[in-house]
Copies of this chain bind each other. A is one copy, B any other.
Amino acid sequence: MSVSKKLRVGILGASGYTGADLVRLLLSHPNVEIVLMTAERKAGLPIGDVFPHLAHYDLPDLISIDDIEWPAVDLDVVFCALPHATSQEVIKGLFHATKHSLLDEMIVETTSDLADAISKEVKVIDLSADFRLRDIDVYAKWYGREHSAASLQPKAVYGLPEVNRAAIAKAHLVACPGCYPTAALLALLPVLQAGQILATDIIIDAKSGVSGSGRSLKEANLFVEVAEAIHPYGVGHHRHMPEIEQELSLAAGEDVRISFTPHLVPMNRGELETIYVKLADGVTADQLKAKLVETYQGEPFVSVLNGETVPATRMVRGSNHCVLNVFEDRIEGRAIIVSAIDNLVKGSSGQAIQNMNLMMGLDESTGLTQAPMFP
């Protein structure tokens, strides 16, 4: 891709925290120009009215999705940071509006001439949950409604680059993983696939910062309710469960059911998962660690820490990094894997950009190299 021509990027749903972090990161991306940002209730306002920290940047005003002039705006990439259910409707509409071949049941052949395809059809990166679950019955069960873009579902690629790089590069519609699934899958997929751990006994204790709950006005998200406190939520029925299970099942070659309990921690950002696993006969924690080290050798955004260093969210704050480590459990035959990410970056907006880079033939790290912010 030529340096001089920038990708024309749109952000649908720019008034949430995920949208804000997309803007933050894209402003540092050398190959991107943000040409469109939407927010239904804030349509007409400058972004600075919604996010004053962005007031000083040259960004388009917020508009309503209905006011997008589709072919004219000539987007290369759309990030869709809308609530689930809304997302599938909007993406379907967008493909109609742009006469996208995905809707014509005719998947674009990826040729060596990727640049050509790009110039013709918009690439969509969905940050909602709408296209993550391959089985629309599972979707219906967990989200309490029928999927309204069922024919698009099979064409969506699950956007975990470390696992799915090749498919993402060819995709026109990528479903970015949830934050909890990202931290869990990076820790578990390699060792499960290698048969090093049992598929029947995976327990994930997850802890998240409050930005994961979004900017909506819920009592549970008020400062006073959260500060100086911790509690679990969604015990036994969090919507990230089927997503994690889907990907683990693929890796295990069998149906996997997990135990997963998220907790709300008084911090803005960050996600930590402490994962308790049962080792296959004769396997040691050291072998798990060796497997992860080998898998992520050369990966720009996933590191296995040295020695007994414990992953901590402060190590990845604001960055697209995931840090992992493995520990022997005191119960023989068990091990503990700890995984930390920034829920808004590797868990959402950063990973979305990583996907965009792959889809557009850019270096995967472009615009994502800024160091974590500590303090």
A interface residues (Cβ-Cβ under 8 A, vs B)? 17, 20-21, 23-24, 27-28, 48, 51-57, 200-201, 203, 205, 207, 209-211, 215, 217-219, 221-233, 235-236, 241, 257-261, 263, 265-270, 272, 274, 276, 303, 305-306, 308-319, 321, 327-332, 334, 336, 338, 340, 344, 369-375
Question: Roughly how many angstroms separate A332 CA and B200 CA in the complex, as a whole number?
Answer: 10
| CB contact between A259 and one of B226, B329, B344, B370 (< 8 Å): that residue | B329
| Beta-carbon contact of B215 and A222 below 8 Å | yes
The CB with the most chain B CB atoms within 10 A, among A260, A265, A327, is that of A265
Question: Roughly how many angstroms separate A55 CA and B215 CA in the complex, as a whole number?
Answer: 29
Question: Roughly how many angstroms separate A19 CA and B308 CA in the complex, as a whole number?
Answer: 25
| Residues of chain B within 8 A of A312, CB atoms compared | 52, 229-231
Number of copies: 4
19 contacts between A and B (CB under 8 A): A17-B224, A24-B372, A24-B373, A27-B370, A28-B370, A55-B305, A203-B331, A205-B276, A217-B219, A223-B225, A227-B268, A228-B269, A228-B314, A229-B270, A229-B312, A229-B313, A230-B270, A230-B313, A276-B276
Question: Roughly how many angstroms separate A56 CA and B211 CA in the complex, as a whole number?
Answer: 26
| Beta-carbon contact of A53 and B228 below 8 Å | no
Min CB distance, A346 to chain B, in Å?
13
| Residues of chain B within 8 A of A229, CB atoms compared | 267, 270, 312-314, 317
Q: With A201-B331, A330-B236, A330-B258 in contact, do A371 and B53 touch (Cβ < 8 Å)? A: yes
| Residues of chain B within 8 A of A232, CB atoms compared | 272, 274, 310-311, 338
Among residues of B, the one whose C-beta sits closest to the C-beta of A242 is: B330
A contact face: mostly helix, strand, loop, or mixed? loop
| Beta-carbon contact of B230 and A336 below 8 Å | no
| CB contact between A28 and one of B53, B270, B338, B371 (< 8 Å): that residue | B371
| Residues of chain B within 8 A of A205, CB atoms compared | 205, 274, 276
Among residues of B, the one whose C-beta sits closest to the C-beta of A227 is: B268
Question: Roughly how many angstroms separate A311 CA and B229 CA in the complex, as a whole number?
Answer: 11
Question: Roughly how many angstroms separate A235 CA and B260 CA in the complex, as a whole number?
Answer: 20
| Residues of chain B within 8 A of A261, CB atoms compared | 274, 336
| Residues of chain B within 8 A of A268, CB atoms compared | 223-224, 227-228, 375
Min CB distance, A333 to chain B, in Å?
10
Min CB distance, A125 to chain B, in Å?
20
